[in-house]
Chains A and B, each alone.
Chain A
Amino acid sequence: NAGVTQTPKFQVLKTGQSMTLQCAQDMNHNSMYWYRQDPGMGLRLIYYSASEGTTDKGEVPNGYNVSRLNKREFSLRLESAAPSQTSVYFCASSHRQGLAGEQYFGPGTRLTVT
């Protein structure tokens, strides 16, 4: 049982390049999330998907797009990377919709934009 997996683990981009971060979960969870973690800032929600076919903005959505491909997969796309998007990105999933349920996190993707 892999839980939540993320690819790639590390990535270096030049300013203006695009890329997609992949996330998959095998726990049959309904809800999935993308966070970014910056030093001294904790985790901030970028986008979430309450269920297959729906996505909504979180706290810091600018510069990102997401796709809930199916129940298992939730991808995050940077169309034109900027140095301010240098961060560690975490995907998470949870069974509950509505009020918060326990979230399970992937190992993260460390992204550097030069």
Chain B
Amino acid sequence: AQSVTQPDIHITVSEGASLELRCNYSYGATPYLFWYVQSPGQGLQLLLKYFSGDTLVQGIKGFEAEFKRSQSSFNLRKPSVHWSDAAEYFCAVGRSGSQGNLIFGKGTKLSVKP
């Protein structure tokens, strides 16, 4: 069965430091992969997505993610974190044989120290 694992429940980084959020997936075919961000009290916003092609994808707000098939990973990165990046981040994989359903990881909460 498909699954998504985000190993880190909570990460704290200093403002200006680099960030990497981990995501591993279990999927039998080429996955459709997504990263969403949720600010406190808000809905989810799509940061970036990977369907095919270049394995390094650029998203909004200066985020990027790299698809590594050999490691079944789709880690999210940002070179310099801003205080406004404090939020919860969800990795998701598209479910095969369905009508567009996503399987979400449990999320990683990012705190940013001044």
Contact = CB atoms under 8 A, between A and B. Distances in A.
Contact of A42 (B41, B42, B104): B104
Interface in B88-114: 90, 93-96, 98-102, 104-107
Interface stretch (A11-19, A66-74, A75-83, A92-100): A92-100
Interface in A31-89: 31, 33, 40-45, 48, 50, 56, 58
B100 to A, nearest CB: 5
A90 B104 CA distance: 13
Name, among A43, A90, A98, the residue most crowded by chain B CB atoms within 10 Å (CB to CB): A43
A101 B49 CA distance: 9
Contact of B101 (A40, A45, A107, A108): A45
Contacts of A90: 43-44
Nearest to B99: A50
Interface residues of A, number: 29
B43 A107 contact: yes
B94 A100 contact: yes
B100 A42 contact: no
Nearest to A94: B100
Interface of A: 4, 31, 33, 40-45, 48, 50, 56, 58, 90, 92, 94, 96-108
